[in-house]
């Protein structure tokens, strides 16, 4: 009976938190989230234009592909939306290849990794999360010392194996490498990369921090750029191994632990659930809307399936 009463009290506390949320902050968070989508889509489009300079690539089509992929990532595990994102972009660009399209997505990674590292450093320097830069080499040194011959043997065998595979598959490797280089063509013009890719990504990261800060304030939690950065780091950790759609469950546990000193568990869990549900809903709505606009059809899902089947053919 006590367990039932405790569960009822927790559910009531969660309901009270949701009822007291400021809708104006939710609207602002949604607008910032949409801006993040558009900015990242614009950055990806600029990479695609550099890879396929003789093709007409619309921002609407790229945004539809990007938004659809993000929406699927929030609904299915193992980041299945990334495959759909690449397939839709290939269907949008005639004569394109999956290898080149995939390479264009990786062009966005260096800045994201740099921004994530800066975010993590901000969290550590402000004391919001413990970070240690001391590396303990004891275990590694002991193992290498006791298994030196095994380590050298494995390294040599791996190197020989790579050389043989590359030599045997040299024509195919050259073809694939050529497509990968085509995907990263924008790196050959640093100014174009900085203005067309890095700058939109930087503004997109600011929008993401703004989204978290608005949601923190809406749920009555302590709000600061450092805490927002901590939430972003934890949310990223929960989707690093995508066992569940959008890291559901994992994110709530990690956030409840990370913010245990800043607010009560009920407040943190209600915030986490609200943030994940809200972001998923906005992603789904944005993905469907962008797909309908790009396909010029209210039956966007059917059109997308047809395009994917044609692209795979």
pLDDT of 308 strictly over 70: no
Q: What is the pLDDT of residue 43?
A: 96
pLDDT of 140 strictly over 80: no
Give the tens place of pLDDT for each residue, 282-292: 888 887 777 67
pLDDT of 249 strictly over 60: no
| CA 236 and chain centroid, separation | 8
pLDDT over 70 for what percent of the chain? 58
Q: Taking the domains of the chain in order of start, what are their residue ranges?
A: 2-312
Q: What is the pLDDT of residue 224?
A: 81
Q: Which of 53-67, 101-115, 292-306 has the lowest mean pLDDT?
A: 292-306
Q: What is the pLDDT of residue 268?
A: 76
Q: What is the pLDDT of residue 46?
A: 96
Reading the block at residue 48, the tokens are 């695609």
| Cβ atoms 179, 103 nearer than 8 A | yes
pLDDT of 183 strictly over 80: yes
Q: What is the pLDDT of residue 167?
A: 61
Q: What is the pLDDT of residue 133?
A: 45
- With cut-offs at 50, 70 and 90, classify the pLDDT of residue 232: confident
User: For 12-41, what is the mean pLDDT?
Assistant: 81
23-54 burial: b if 16+ Cβ within 10 Å, else e = eebbebbbebbbbbbbbbbbbbbbbbbbbbee
Give the tens place of pLDDT for each residue, 91-120: 888 888 888 999 999 999 899 888 888 877
Reading the block at residue 288, the tokens are 């469907």
**pTM for this entry:** 0.73
User: For 22-41, what is the mean pLDDT?
Assistant: 91
- With cut-offs at 50, 70 and 90, classify the pLDDT of residue 137: very low
> CA neighbours within 13 Å on the CB side: how many for 257?
10
């Amino acid at each position: 009976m006590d367990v039932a009463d405790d569960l009822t009290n927790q559910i009531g506390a969660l309901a009270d938190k949701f009822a007291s949320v400021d809708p104006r902050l939710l609207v602002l968070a949604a607008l910032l989230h949409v801006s993040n989508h558009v900015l990242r889509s614009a950055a990806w489009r600029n990479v695609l234009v550099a890879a396929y300079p003789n093709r007409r690539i619309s921002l609407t089509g790229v945004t539809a592909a990007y938004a659809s992929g993000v929406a699927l990532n929030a609904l299915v595990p193992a980041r299945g939306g990334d495959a759909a994102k690449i397939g839709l972009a290939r269907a949008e660009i005639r004569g394109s290849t999956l290898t080149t399209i995939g390479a264009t997505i990786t062009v966005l990674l260096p800045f994201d990794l740099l921004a994530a590292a800066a975010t993590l450093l901000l969290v550590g320097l402000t004391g919001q999360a413990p970070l240690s830069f001391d590396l303990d080499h004891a275990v590694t040194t002991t193992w290498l010392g006791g298994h030196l011959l095994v380590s050298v043997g494995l390294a040599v065998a791996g190197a020989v194996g790579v050389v043989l595979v590359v030599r045997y598959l040299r024509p195919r490797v050259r073809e694939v490498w050529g497509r990968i280089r085509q995907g990263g063509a924008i790196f050959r013009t640093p100014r174009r990369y900085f203005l067309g890719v890095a700058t939109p990504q930087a503004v997109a990261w600011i929008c993401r921090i703004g989204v978290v800060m608005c949601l923190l304030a809406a749920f009555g939690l302590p709000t600061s750029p450092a805490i927002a950065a901590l939430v972003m780091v934890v949310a990223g950790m929960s989707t690093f191994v995508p066992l569940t759609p959008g890291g559901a469950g994992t994110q709530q546990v990690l956030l409840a632990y990370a913010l245990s000193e800043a607010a009560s568990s009920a407040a943190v869990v209600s915030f986490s659930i609200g943030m994940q549900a809200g972001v998923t809903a906005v992603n789904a709505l944005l993905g469907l809307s962008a797909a309908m606009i790009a396909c010029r059809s209210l039956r966007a899902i059917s059109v997308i399936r047809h395009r994917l089947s044609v692209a795979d053919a």
